[in-house]
Amino acid sequence: MGSASREALAAAKAALSGRLGKSAGAELLSASAQIAGSPALLGALGDASSAAAAKRGLVERLFGGISAGARAVLVAAVEQNWSNADELVGGVEELGLRAEAIANDGLADELLAAAATIDSSHELELSLGSKLGDPASKVALVERIFTGKLSASAVGVIAHLVANPRGRRVGAALRESARVAADQGGSELATVSVAAPLSAAQQEKLAGLLEQSAGRPVRVTTVVDPALVGGVRIQIGDDVIDGSVRSRIEDLRLQLAG
């Protein structure tokens, strides 16, 4: 995300402190999909040269049916200057995720559980991630698998992500959304890739070390990747600590090639 977009998102997040109904998150996610699906609307709202008042009026006309809280957050977002129109869509989506996390403090854990379920089934991952698949069919599959096992809030977020991939793999989109939800709740989310599963004691020790570094609670989720050979790869936000054997082999290969 560009620097202008980071500033825009930070400013828009302030609107989340207002009175939000339980439907606000779903309404903002739907708004992000609607904006992305209309080139004319995306162009109008993402045009940095357009007056904020004009954008506000457009939102009031087109999104007058959503709750006042969600509309206030959407107005706060479109009034900012984003690096590009696509990042406006991503920003509105993130605001929707944060609104969902405010209403559902277990959202991050639920999204991680969904990611683990999808990652464990190659067939399911293909069905939900296929570029040729019908979005409505993907949503129906999500609802069939997760309804009754996860909250309606989490199912709605998963359905949104599979219907609006925006170039992302399903598992990666779920884990990034979980990171956003965790951040809204005041904690970090660390994705730890390992060649073999960690024990409960190892996860607890790792979480403690990461919390000392991050300065706030850290939720650890592990991804087993045999291709790493050994060692670990840790990602917290944009920071990556790669101590895997695969990484060291690649470094050695580059040194030999040079």
Report the chain's mean pLDDT, rounded to a whole number.
Answer: 89
Of 70, 120, 92, 105, nearest to 9 by C-alpha is 92
Q: In the structure, what pLDDT confidence band is assigned to residue 235 with cuts at 50, 70 and 90? A: confident
Q: What is the spatial distance between Cα 36 and Cα 28, in angstroms, rounded to a whole number? A: 12
Q: In the structure, what pLDDT confidence band is assigned to residue 229 with cuts at 50, 70 and 90? A: confident
Contact 97, 177 (CB under 8 A): yes
Contact 211, 217 (CB under 8 A): yes
Q: What is residue 253's predicted lDDT score, i.e. its pLDDT?
A: 66
Among 61-65, 175-179, 188-192, name the one with the lowest average pLDDT.
Answer: 188-192
pTM: 0.82
Of 258, 208, 216, nearest to 237 by C-alpha is 216
Q: What is the spatial distance between Cα 29 and Cα 84, in angstroms, rounded to a whole number? A: 19
Q: What is the mean pLDDT of residues 197-211?
A: 85
Tokens 């904020």 locate to: 52
Q: What is residue 215's predicted lDDT score, i.e. its pLDDT?
A: 84
Q: In the structure, what pLDDT confidence band is assigned to residue 88 with cuts at 50, 70 and 90? A: very high
Q: What is residue 70's predicted lDDT score, i.e. its pLDDT?
A: 96
Q: What is the spatial distance between Cα 31 and Cα 78, in angstroms, rounded to a whole number? A: 12
Q: What is residue 227's predicted lDDT score, i.e. its pLDDT?
A: 80
Contact 94, 13 (CB under 8 A): no
